[in-house]
Amino acid sequence: MTRVGSFEAKTHLPQLLERVSRGEKILITRHGKPAAMLVPPPEGETKDVKQIIEEFKAYSKRQGRTLGGLSIRDLIEEGRR
């Protein structure tokens, strides 16, 4: 695993991200102590956003959650006041 100082990481972030995208793990240090780690994203299937929204709606419906007769537009307008 490669260790990189925070200043160097900031300066060379695009190159570090390229290395991480190829599977390398990079430890970012601050004053010699571990501060963060750049790692590739987990392998796996990403869900479609529309599918996630539908699952959320179904979950909310099962839980009996409602907006109390309000619409999303009503909530948006209320937040602007």
Altogether, the residues listed in the chain come to a count of: 81
**pLDDT tens profile 23-67:** 999 999 999 999 999 999 888 777 889 999 999 989 988 988 777
Query: Is the predicted pLDDT of residue 2 greater than 90, yes or no?
Result: yes
Q: Domain 2-38: which topology?
A: YefM-like fold (3.40.1620)
Q: What is the pLDDT of residue 52?
A: 92
Residue range(s) in the chain whose domain bears CATH number 3.40.1620: 2-38
Per-residue pLDDT for 70 more than 80?
A: yes
Between CA 49 and CA 70 the distance in angstroms is 24
In the prediction, which pLDDT does 3 show?
A: 96
Q: Report the pLDDT value the prediction gives residue 78, as an integer from 0 to 100.
A: 86
